[in-house]
Amino acid sequence: MVVAFSSQLLESLLTPGRLALLSVLFVVVSFIIDIARLPKCPDSLPRVGSGRGLIASVKNCVLYVTRYNDWVADGYEKYNKQGRAFVAPSSLSRPSEIVVPKSQTAWMLEQPDRVLSTKEAHNDTLFNHYQFGIDDEFPVRTLHKHLARNLVSLLPGIQDEVHASINDVYGTDTENWKTLNIWDSLIGIVSRVTNRILVGDPLCRNEEFLKNQVIFADAVVRNSLIMNLIPKVFHFIIGPLLTRTNRRAWRKTYEIGKATIEQRLRDTERKESGLDIEVPEDMLTWLIRQAKADGAADELSPVMLSKRLLPVEFAAIHTTVLTASNILLDLASSDPSLGYIDAIRKETSQALEKGNGSWTKESLANLHLTDSAIKESMRVSYFARGLTHRKVVAPEGVTNPTEGWHAPEGSFLMLDLAGAHLDPETFPEPEKYDAFRFVKLREQLEPKNPEEAMKIKRLGMVTTSAEHLTFSHGRHACPGRFFVAHELKMILAYLVNNYEIKHIEKRPINDWVGATVIPPVKATIEVKRRKA
């Protein structure tokens, strides 16, 4: 009887309305606890957003999705340009960020990893534990050691894949215009070209393998956005649920690629034993080679090698598609009378003619017009407010010597990419896409003058600086940027030489969600194969 009475009492108390109210209160309390536990930014620093205090913090979290870009742009003008850092609100599960002025870039990037960590900043941004199941340190270190030294030998394979993938996606019809979704078409091209240097041929042409690598990359972006908007107290529940898509996609790529990985392991062993066997130079081989050099036997299983490819697949595919999409939109929407596409077509066709149809490191490096058009698109059509972040990991925190402020352990520091890229003091008419902006700057310099020769070198798209942050900057700059530069130049060269691209009257605009740009994924382009 007592049990029945207690059950009836509980049912009368826990009505649907009361349950809903309790749920809301639980979420609100979780947010408040999250905010209270975040590291406190220095009181001496100015703030953008809704101000200080608990209520202001809650309001900032709510407005973050729509107002973040405007807040940081305002802070750049008011404070960064005067050499001052400022505090910008962040998403619900992350601490506010200290936006370091461009004048202090060197100080921030020269801090040792035991003080300011790139790795931990990435882990917190992408939730590596849930998304990848591993961190990205080993594959990034492998890229640093092996990509640059092997890139020249990879160029013929990259060129083959660029030509074959574009032919397949864009078609060969010389009579009729073809309407293509820009994002989808570039996914089909970039995923193939990227995997040519990650896993080699023929796996790079396996449609099911590529489809699931793209699904995985898309899931990482989506899940990161969602997780950043959810209190940390829920992450242990939401994280595994959200990332089921990741695990399914990885499992399918593993099942398809397992035989290739196992064969590569056998071939590497046989080659090391003295047999005359050719082992392809690609990321898979480099991971095996690096694991052996490190004596890391646990890295040599097919499962682990497959997982080690995931962070590279994500970074290489998604960012390159974003960049290539912006390049096409910027060029196609530019005034045709400016002759951007015609000039790039002439430059690239002449370079190919001199090289008998093949690209070399030197011929790609000498594509100054093409390089400028790509870099200018990266400057004006960026895909995040900031790409250079550091997390304070030193227990004692870090003190800024210029302004004297102190950031405690757990704080985040960042550089404002968009502010630097759109600063009119550095780039006149900064909002304008001027494809040959950097060529014009090059023509003003004397290459025989050592000081000006260094300035010329810094004008290239792969040379990072405080004014060119697309590949980040400093010792943790993107290790794959040289491959990306070659890949983008080859893709653009093949497109403009083999296809007519119809002019777009108005460039579709990018949208913002917090600190991230959402590209116009429904934008289309009309192309037609040029007659030989």
- Tell me the three-class secondary structure of 275-289, residue by residue: CCCCCCCCHHHHHHH
Q: Environment class of residue 172 by beta-carbon count within 10 Å: exposed (0-12), middle (13-18) or buried (19+)? A: exposed
Annotated binding site: 478
What does each C-alpha distance from 292 to 142, 180, 283, 458 come to in angstroms? 12, 45, 14, 37
The structure tokens listed for 292 are 């052996």
Given a contact cutoff of 8 angstroms between Cβ atoms, the answer to whether 113 and 122 are in contact is no
The structure tokens listed for 247 are 């695990």
Annotated binding site for heme: 478
The structure tokens listed for 42 are 């220095």
**Calpha distance 360→151 (Å, rounded):** 10
Map tokens 């757990």 to a residue: 410
Long-range pairs for 256-265 at CB < 8 Å and ≥24 separation?
256/203, 256/206, 256/208, 256/209, 256/212, 257/199, 257/203, 257/209, 257/306, 258/302, 258/306, 260/199, 260/200, 260/203, 260/284, 261/302, 261/305, 261/306, 262/302, 264/288, 265/300, 265/302, 265/305
Q: Please state whether beta strands 388-392 and 97-100 pair in parallel, antiparallel, or not at all (unpaired).
A: unpaired
Per-residue buried b or exposed e for 434-455, using 16+ beta carbons within 10 Å of the residue's own CB: bbbbbbeebeeeeeeeeeeeee
Given a contact cutoff of 8 angstroms between Cβ atoms, the answer to whether 454 and 446 are in contact is no
Per-residue buried b or exposed e for 482-504, using 16+ beta carbons within 10 Å of the residue's own CB: bbbbbbbbbbbbbbbebbeeeeb
Region for residue 178 given its phi and psi (left: phi exceeds 0; alpha: psi -120 to 50; beta: otherwise): beta
**Calpha distance 299→419 (Å, rounded):** 41
Region for residue 357 given its phi and psi (left: phi exceeds 0; alpha: psi -120 to 50; beta: otherwise): left
Among 455, 469, 518, 528, residue whose Cα is nearest residue 498: 528
Give the number of other CB atoms < 10 A from CB of residue 477: 16
Q: Quickly count helices (H) and strands (E) in the chain.
A: 20, 12
Given a contact cutoff of 8 angstroms between Cβ atoms, the answer to whether 291 and 312 are in contact is no
**Calpha distance 170→178 (Å, rounded):** 8
**Calpha distance 179→221 (Å, rounded):** 27
Given a contact cutoff of 8 angstroms between Cβ atoms, the answer to whether 372 and 365 are in contact is no
